[in-house]
A and B are shown apart, each in its own frame.
Chain A
Amino acid sequence: MLSTRWSRWDPVSGFRNEVDRLFTGFLADPAEAFARNGGYPALNVWEDAESVHIEAEVPGLKMSDLEVVVDDNDLTIRGKRVAAGDKNVSFHRQERGVGAFTRTVRLPIAIDADHVDAKLTHGVLSIKLAKAPEARPRRIEVKAAD
């Protein structure tokens, strides 16, 4: 199985996620719109005014090993990692997971599927999804009454 490094420094958040999981349906946090079961790769997701950003650590993969698909508001990441060395080598230690993976998450914010940008730098996959115009914050001009 592929594994990932989970956040160790924030047990409170982990506990909160666990508690949130128990109360699915009661909490309306946008983050809870995501598929809840973990999976590989682990994702960090954040937003700014214009975009939703998704980042995953996928060491050992090249862009050609990865497939990123946006369908409506679902984002799917697929890929496969092969073992180091061939079958006949002798392993002293084998901790790095191998195999195929698929992960789909539902984005909590409407995005514009025509403006998705993915890049892979030293094993870190960064996906930037432009928010749909209606999901961006708008500045409302306040006019002074005469």
Chain B
Amino acid sequence: MSTQTAIDKTTATNEVRAERTRNCATYQPAVDIIESPDELTLFADMPGLRPEDVDIHFENGMLTIHGTVAERQPQQTRFLRREYGVGDFERSFRIGETIDAEKISAEYVDGVLKLHLPKVAAARPRKIEVKGS
């Protein structure tokens, strides 16, 4: 348990932003977070969006990703089988100070949101040259 991560998930109940009032189910997307020397990269499974429906919000160290999913079937659809629900996606993360918030960028491909969280220069590992006398 010694690993300290730069990102801590906060539960939905700790959500600091205003609650949304849209009357539909909201799902937490599954995510992968990978660390490289230069950045953290976050992948979130958020199928069925359009890129313009993705809202990424960063405020006071809290990163929130939200995807607004339009209903794909009319309300009166006769389902023969219904194994998953369709609704918005939302999840929040607390970001450590090592991230350069100005340079966060995102892309959305094949239903997966990929978020690049570059580290500030000071946080990157540096090799220190040891000089001989």
Contacts and interface: CB of A to CB of B under 8 A. Distances in A.
B: contact size bracket: 35 or more
Given A59-B46, A89-B36, A42 B84 contact: yes
A46 B31 contact: no
B45 A123 contact: yes
Contact of B31 (A31, A60, A61, A95): A95
Q: For the complex, would chain A's binding face be called helix, strand, loop or mixed by DSSP majority?
A: loop
A8 B32 CA distance: 22
A57 B47 contact: yes
A25 interface: no
B50 interface: yes
B123 interface: no
Contacts of A138: none
Nearest 5 interchain pairs by C-beta? A123-B111, A123-B47, A59-B111, A42-B83, A7-B85
Interface of B: 5-7, 9, 25, 27, 30-36, 40-41, 43, 45-50, 72-73, 77-87, 108, 110-112
